[in-house]
Every structure is written in structure tokens, then in C-alpha cells.
Structure 1
Amino acid sequence: MIEETPKIPQATSKRLPLYYRFLQNFANLGKKRVSSSELSEAMKIDAATIRRDFSHFGALGRKGYGYDVHYLVEFFRQILDQDEGTDVALIGVGSLGSAFLKYNFHKNHNTRIVVAFDPKAPAEGKMLSGIPVFHPDTISEKIVELGIDLVILTVPSRVAQDVTDKLIKAGIKGILNFTPVRLTAPDEVRVHTIDLSVELQTLIYFMKNDVKNSQL
């Protein structure tokens, strides 16, 4: 989990997992050091932004040398708590939820879905893609039993807030929300909403305006 402090901007915090992934790629290729320009080319992020992000954590590199790849991989692994596994619950096993179960973060062995909930599941539960799926009536019990702090929410919009209220009472600290509902939650519960339709509409808008601007 990313530790955010007032010193680290939210935009920077969101880029930390990307830095870690690309630095791992460089390490796997046997690269010993990397410059902000090389990172910029690989990640398609402005080099000045990379240097500014890194500056929040002190002197991570040396002028004229660049950045030590192995050191940065270890540094960001600790920042992101990659040595500590995170168990996740999936709420809602429809089309999107089923895709999450099949994927189950296979490229990130420190994050894994360990339990799911769906109204179609029997009271005793059933197995899907190797994950136990239970009826939502057991959410509070299972969340506490498994010590889960993070859930992925892929339920119908009409029940999203009711389910969220139940999760909050069960002690959930983070919700990755894939419903279009803007969920109400206390300050101590972090909610990240990913509205696929909005993202698609935004992409279409930029595509059309890029074309218009190129014709001016």
C-alpha cells in the first residue's frame, strides 16, 4: 500500500507503481543504471516530471550518472510494501467480476483475490477460478474472519451504496469502485472510482479534438 504524506502529491503517488514496474523491466534486462531520459522514453512521461517525482524522496540519483536500477527497485518495493502480501475481496461476480477472478493479478504475486461474493452463490459457497464465492449475506463475517482491508466493487449501481455501508461496518479501509455511483464513505475509508464509460467518453473526446486541432 502506498503511504501518502502531505509531502508527496497524489499524482506522484499514483505513478509510483508504474516506476516500480518499469524499473523491474530494466533490472530484468540486466541494466545497471538508467537516466531520467531513458525512463521518460520507456514510460512516455516527461523527464522533468520523473525528476520532480523522485526529488520528493531525496537524492535518489547522481548528476552525470543517473539512477542505480537495483537501488531504485528495492527502494520502491519498500515504499509500495511489495514484500507484504495484500488479500483482496471481490464483491459482485458478473461479467467484469468474473474477468477479475480469472486474472487475479497473476503478474503481481503480492496482491490476490482470496474470496468473492455474489447473490447467485449458495449459502455454503462454491469455487470459481479457484476462488471461494459466497452469498453476500456472509460478507461481514468473512471480511472479519479473513482480515481483509481492501475490496473490488463490481455490483449493480442500485445496491452499490448499501453494499458499501455493510463493508464499512465490517472494517474495510479501501474500495476500488467499478460502479458509476459516487460512494459515500467516511474519511478513513479510501475510495477509488473507475468509471469505464466516463473513461471511454473522455478518450473519444480527446481523439476527436486531436483530429480537429490537427486540421486547424
Structure 2
Amino acid sequence: MLHLKDVRPTVFFVSREGRLDQIVEITVENRGKPVEARVKILKGARASEIPVGPIKPGEGRYQIAVPEIGEEGPVEFALLVGDKVQDRRSITWRPKRHWEVYLVHISHHDLGYTDLPRDVLREHDGFMDEILRFCEETEDWPEEAKFRYTIEGSWSVLHFVEEGPEDLVEKLVRYMKQGRIELTALFGNETTELCGHEELIRLLYPSFGLG
């Protein structure tokens, strides 16, 4: 016997075959053996069935992708095994706002906190190799999906420019000019409250020198 303990619409959507499906999290208690289940969703005269997959013994959370419901109102969720309804739960459905989420990769420079400075620099050289590879691998992707990266300070870039292979340095400069790789202004992540005006100005010199 299955018990549908909770139905919780999330703010997440997935695009499938030209339509949006909203991710809904359900909590199911199974007091028996593993069993295949599905959910029937009723909104007014509309009905749809979505497979949940195997329900394990005990209480568990499962995610289903529900065709987007654009109107507020009561929606019934029925949990089925075969043709038999195991449990039902009605909720007041409230449409979720559509958000666009942009993920930006960024490095954090903790010089000397995580390892010796010379070892940290070598690690960042390796990071730079991967950054350039990811930029290259996504060259033919849609503009909004291309890999981008933000470098927090210029000290690691200066080391890479001085020590790295010439062809990779040229790639780095090219992607920076394209806006795919961003370099922030300061030499490192200094505690600016402890810096005087002259120190703050001179912290900009290395980044501007790369231009």
C-alpha cells in the first residue's frame, strides 16, 4: 500500500518538445515491496498521467515533470499502481514565475591559505588550461551557452602569461577580448580597508598592463 504524504511544486522547469514541464516533488510512503507507480493529475477537465518509476520500501521523495499549469486553482494528484488508486491528494496550484538563471564560473584567490604560493600558482596554471579548453569546446554552441569565466585577480594570469605556452597565452588574450574570460581589476583579493590611496591605485597596474 502506498501513501501520498506530500505534493510540493518547485520553481524549476524543463523544456521538452517545445513545451515547459514543471518539476513537482512528491513524498511517498511504501509499506510493502518495491513497486512501479505513476501519478494521475486532474485539473478541471484536463488529465495527464506521469510515470514515477520504482517506489522503494519506506518513505522517499520523487520528482515528476508535470506539463505546465498556467491557472491558479485546485489540482488533484492520484497515485496509481496498475489501475488501482493507492492514495489521493489535492493542492491549491499557484503558477510559478519563469526565471532565467545564469551560471558564472569564478575563481577565488586565497594566496597562501590553501597551500604554498608556488603550489597555488601551479594549480591555477592547470585551471587556466581547463578554462581555455572549455572555451574552445563550446565555440559552436549558442552564444548564451558558451563557456565563460571570471578570474578574480591578475596575479595568476601574470604568471600564466610569463610561464605558459605561447599558443595558450594567445588563446587567453583572444577570449578575454571576446568577453568570454573576464579579469577583475585588482592584483589580488586584498583587504581594501587596510590599503591607502596609493596602494589601491598601484594594485590596478598589473591588470591594466595586460591590456
Greater share of strand residues, 1 or 2?
Answer: 2
TM-score, structure 1 length as denominator? 0.27
TM-score, structure 2 length as denominator? 0.27
Highest CA radius of gyration, 1 or 2? 2
Greater share of helix residues, 1 or 2?
Answer: 1
